[in-house]
Amino acid sequence: MDNIVIVPVRTKAELKRFIRLPARLYAQDPNFIPALEMERLDALPAGRNPWFEHAEAQFFLAARNGRDVGRVSAQIDRLVKDPAIGHFGLIAAEDDPAIFAALLGAAESWLRERGRSQVLGPFNLSINEETGLLISGFDTPPMIFMAHDPPYAAARIEALGYGKAKDVIAYLFDMAAGFPPRIRKVAERFGATGVTLRQIDMSRFETEFTMVMEIFNDAWSQNWSFVPFTDAELKHMAKGLKPLLDPRLTAVVEHGGRAVGFGIMLPNLNEAIRDFDSRLLPFNWFKLLLRLKKGTSTGRVPLMGVRRSFSAGLAGGLVPFLIIDSLYKGAAQKGIKSVELSWILEDNRPMRHIIEELGGVAYKTYRVFEKTLQ
């Protein structure tokens, strides 16, 4: 196909080519921030990432005349409820329809050979990581653990028979605008009704993190395409996130001595590594420590949830306001100027209404595509 050769990634050298490719392809995009190569080498090999304990993936490179011009992954997660569904992800390519066709054709063939009849994506690598392809909001860089794609990618994917499955939204809070006073009064009154708020206790971090992620798995269990975190994934994630966490940017809501809701804000690591060119060694690690100690001007709330058994009542409906208010105060103490809350399903109207009432503005949209495999 137009001198394009598809190379299944088998070796460590090929995996490094796979990881490094987007930085070269999108070098002229001022808002693209390449992931740290060290982090990707920990996340993508099957022997290091516990996601592979219940999933499998194949990475593909597209080369033309000996030059890498695109990449994609195909993956199957055995925890996905529908056994007919496979995923694609990690897609990056030059603006050429033939390259997209070759890449997605390889991913589809791999999935079809394994009995899958429907493909969803992109997921990098799962719905609990980077979800969807950026379709609006190209004018700002991505926050930590969010994707950034070129404007042409969506049209190239749609031209291959993919349609919209679901959009997810990223909201931005301008800290200078302040928390709406009327909402803060409600939150403060709510605090006197038997509901208490505290921060994560870092001295027993592993136990605390397991507790809040149990809430997360329960709160999100009925959401579209939800896949729960396993115990091994939780331990792996806790280890990776602990150096980034500041207790002031955490909130745990309790009722009757039981945790019923939580929220976690992370400093925007992408802001700190923007000029690293994906490399941490030999000296960038020291720069990173200094920058994180100083603090970033942006942050993201990637994890929040309220137990389903508690969320249905009036008190449960107010818990998100209490959590966001607490995180807002912590962000102000840290000098954070803008906060992203993401991602939110487009049809999650209750949560979107809460965020918009609090002053959040939808500023990025990511699309998950689907296609039936013939």
pLDDT digits (tens, 9 = 90+) for 72-90: 999 999 999 999 999 999 9
Residue 52 has pLDDT above 70, yes or no: yes
At 135 the three-state DSSP class reads strand
Mean pLDDT of the chain: 93
Clarify whether residues 37 and 148 are in a common domain.
yes
Instruction: Return the sign of the alpha-carbon dihedral for residues 328, 329, 330, 336.
Output: positive
Task: Count the neighbouring beta carbons within 10 Å of the beta carbon of residue 104.
Answer: 26
Residues 133 and 154 sit within 8 Å (Cβ to Cβ): yes
Clarify whether residues 206 and 240 are in a common domain.
yes
Q: Residue 296 and residue 285: Cα distance in Å, rounded?
A: 16
**Residue with more model confidence, 315 or 233:** 233
**Residue with more model confidence, 283 or 93:** 93
Residues 6 and 27 sit within 8 Å (Cβ to Cβ): no
**If you average pLDDT over each of 155-164, 185-194, 249-258, which comes out highest?**
155-164
Reported confidence tier of residue 156, pLDDT bands at 50, 70, 90: very high
Clarify whether residues 157 and 177 are in a common domain.
no
Residues 148 and 141 sit within 8 Å (Cβ to Cβ): yes
Report pLDDT for 321.
85
Clarify whether residues 128 and 195 are in a common domain.
no
Q: Residue 95 and residue 244: Cα distance in Å, rounded?
A: 36
Task: Count the neighbouring beta carbons within 10 Å of the beta carbon of residue 204.
Answer: 10
CATH number for the domain harbouring residue 37: 3.40.630.30
Output b/e per residue, 62-74; b: 16+ Cβ within 10 A.
bbbeeebbbbbbb
Report pLDDT for 191.
54
Q: What is the mean pLDDT of residues 39-50?
A: 93
At 6 the three-state DSSP class reads strand
AA identity, residue 116: R
Q: What is the mean pLDDT of residues 19-45?
A: 96
Residue 233 has pLDDT above 80, yes or no: yes
Residue 1 has pLDDT above 60, yes or no: no
Residue 337 has pLDDT above 90, yes or no: yes
Owner of token pair 């529908």:
82
Report pLDDT for 301.
97
Q: Residue 301 and residue 304: Cα distance in Å, rounded?
A: 7
Clarify whether residues 200 and 157 are in a common domain.
no
* Helix/strand/coil percent split, the chain, to 5: 40, 30, 30
Clarify whether residues 26 and 142 are in a common domain.
yes
Reported confidence tier of residue 207, pLDDT bands at 50, 70, 90: very high
Clarify whether residues 263 and 354 are in a common domain.
yes
Residue 189 has pLDDT above 70, yes or no: no
Clarify whether residues 102 and 214 are in a common domain.
no
* Nearest of 350, 308, 346, 331 to residue 169 by alpha carbon: 346
Report pLDDT for 286.
93
Residue 305 has pLDDT above 80, yes or no: yes
List all residues 6 or more positions away from 116 whose beta carbon is below 8 Å from its beta carbon.
Answer: 76, 84, 85, 86, 373
Residue 316 has pLDDT above 80, yes or no: no
58 in a structural domain: yes
Report pLDDT for 314.
64
Strands annotated E in the chain = 4-8, 55-64, 67-77, 85-93, 118-121, 123-124, 130-131, 133-136, 163-174, 195-198, 250-255, 258-267, 298-306, 338-345, 361-372
Report pLDDT for 182.
73
Residue 276 has pLDDT above 60, yes or no: yes
pLDDT digits (tens, 9 = 90+) for 121-150: 999 999 999 999 999 999 999 999 999 999
Residue 115 has pLDDT above 90, yes or no: yes
At 64 the three-state DSSP class reads strand
How many domains does one find in the chain?
A: 2
Report pLDDT for 187.
63
Kindly report the backbone phi and psi dihedral angles of residue 143, in degrees, each rounded to the nearest multiple of 5, phi listed first: -80, 175
Clarify whether residues 197 and 331 are in a common domain.
yes
Reported confidence tier of residue 199, pLDDT bands at 50, 70, 90: very high
Domain coverage including residue 269 = 173-364
Report pLDDT for 179.
73
